Amino acid sequence: MMAIDWAAFYIPHPAKAEKGGEDAYFFVEDGNFSFAAVFDGVGGWADQGVDPKLWAQAMAHHTREALSDSDNLITIMDQAYQETLETGIEGSCTAIMASHQQDNQLQYANLGDSGLAIYRNGRIFFETAEQTLGFNYPYQLSSDLAEMPEDADRGSIPIKTGDIIVIASDGLWDNLYHVEINKLLSSCVGAQEMAQKLTIAAYQASNDDKRWAPFGQKAVEGLYADRNPHDLDWESETPPLKEWMGGKPDDIPVIVGTVY
């Protein structure tokens, strides 16, 4: 019989700390069943006078309620989404969910650029793929009816004792590389210490304007991938290493599960 010990830690964006950030998350450990999820409120809504946190919180609340009605993650996500729409709240969020029921399979559903990764024996064993419409423009569940739950990437991953599962918003993945995460995990004992150290390290990296981070690397990769390959005189308008140097300040919720 296999189980997962979950723990979480959260540091909001410095500019949003007073209201507690704009993301929502939770995990459940209930006998033979466990579940974890992160909802990243899309900050652009603030420009329209809408608090992005309200939508993310509503999605988290209705997801927790939906757990009693189904064990299918897409069904759970869809039920939570429909009930959030019915509240009349405006906003949008990305969503990453994972569930486990004693066997050796971890179920996941991911919509957007939050994500889940599994580390095994000091290496990255599995990670979900980002879903984006363009650079820094993720799929999202929205009051404007953008993407839908059925658009989520989903699957089942075999897990074993000793695996470490990390579920987080892009606040983690945009600021720390897997090699950094692995080193931090190997220095910890227990899920709570792991979650706390990862979150703090990502926060420190997000405010470091002298480092090169995954967010900037994705921007540069997109820049060069989109260039005209036949234009041998092509050059970027702004030196990309200067434009994208530094971490990316963001809300940083991290959930860690240790498999035993």
pLDDT single digits (tens) 80-107: 999 999 999 999 999 999 999 989 999 9
pLDDT score of 223 more than 90: no
The tokens for 14 are 């410095």
The tokens for 19 are 């209201």
Q: What pLDDT does residue 243 have?
A: 81
d(CA 57, CA 74): 18
Residue 54's SS3 state is helix
- Our CA angle for 92, 55, 247, nearest 5°, is 60
Place of tokens 């405006």: 90
pLDDT score of 240 more than 70: no
CA 43 to chain centre: 15
Residue 65's SS3 state is helix
Integer CA distances (angstroms), 139 to 90, 114, 118, in order: 16, 10, 22
132-134 vs 23-30, strand pairing mode: unpaired
pTM reported for the whole predicted model: 0.94
What SS3 string covers 129-178?
Answer: CCCEEECCEECCEECCCCECHHHCEEEEEECCCCCEEEEECHHHHCCCCH
Q: Which tens digit of pLDDT belongs to each residue from 145-199?
A: 989 999 999 999 999 999 999 999 999 999 999 999 999 999 999 999 999 999 9
Q: Which tens digit of pLDDT belongs to each residue from 20-47?
A: 999 999 999 987 899 999 999 999 999 8
